[in-house]
Amino acid sequence: MLFHRNSLTIRSAAKINVSLHIKGILPNGFHDLEMVNLPLDLHDIIEIDRTPYSQDTFVTCDDVSLSFTRHNLCTKAVEKMRAFFGFKDNFTINIHKEIPFAAGLGGGSSNAAAVIRGLVDLLEIKTTPEILSEIGLQIGADVPFFLSMKPSIVTGIGEKLEKIQVKKSYFCLLVKPNEGLSTQKVFAKFDEMKPENAPIDTEKVVAALTSGDDGLLAQSIGNDLEAASVSLLPKIAEIEKSLRFDGFRIVSMTGSGSTVFALTTNQKLARECFRKYDEQGYVTRLCKTLV
């Protein structure tokens, strides 16, 4: 007699955009992106339980302030997987939160990717990474990256991934104002402002990560959305300035904000500044980049 698992637990990791360059507008109206993404060991925990007699799938979360958007992304992941693979099962999905919301860390997309991976394991689905990536892209532009979870150059709207080699792991201090930012509003502000950003050299960013050259990395990173995000939430610029004053060289905003990250190999500096910004009331996390 064959026994099938009815539940599993899976990690749902965050990411930072070490650099984010907007190359232009695609024919479909989406922005043509060129990003260098690093996964983090900061993660949510997703518990998936198969509920054979349930008429629906239910998503719960231990963060009461959570937007319904994140619930919908997990529900959407189940619906898209069901539409493609034809299973009848329903599930209870519990999200245990550590990744801040509306932070540019990809928490919602990561949760959806974790659900996809979880369903593949739980239902013993035979498939390919390419098929799962196509399904993920229907849910959100960041989902294909979170299905891979490897340091990558990410282009297009997020569907094209090129894995890169990273020489070392960094301590990553994340500092976020209590206010979040809507990705849609930030991109709309970017289109309105059309800021003249300093050019971002993605090749140099990758070369710096590959060689472990922190000086080159500090000079090469950037985020084309930063001016738009700062115009909506000036605290972002204040945090960046403060982190540089603290002694961090590799500092930038991730995604559309509102989180600022600082990378260092100096554990003492990272821990001291984590306590400093935590005591000042910011949403603060200290983690490491994954290689």
Query: CA gyration radius for the chain?
Result: 19
The tokens of 102 are what? 């509306």
Q: Determine the angle formed by the axes of helices 107-122 and 129-137, rounding to 10 degrees.
A: 140
User: How many C-beta atoms lie closer than 10 Å to residue 52's C-beta?
Assistant: 8
Catalytic residues: 15, 142
Residue 71 one-letter amino acid: H
Helices (H), the chain: 68-85, 107-122, 129-137, 143-148, 183-193, 202-211, 214-220, 226-232, 235-246, 267-279
Q: Measuring CA to CA, which residue among 231, 227, 215 is closest to residue 265?
A: 215
Q: Measuring CA to CA, which residue among 30, 21, 26, 1 is closest to residue 184?
A: 30
Alpha-carbon torsion angle 142, 234, 224, 164, nearest 10: -50
Three state DSSP letters for 213-249:
CHHHHHHHCEECCHHHHHHHCCHHHHHHHHHHHHCCC
What is the residue whose two structure tokens read 């800021």?
195
Element (H or E) spanning 171, and its range? strand 171-176
Cβ within 8 Å of residue 77, ≥6 positions away: 112, 113, 115, 116, 119, 139
Could you give the C-alpha distances from 3 to 6, 54, 122, 123, in angstroms and in order? 9, 20, 12, 12
Is the CB of residue 150 less than 8 Å from the CB of residue 163? yes
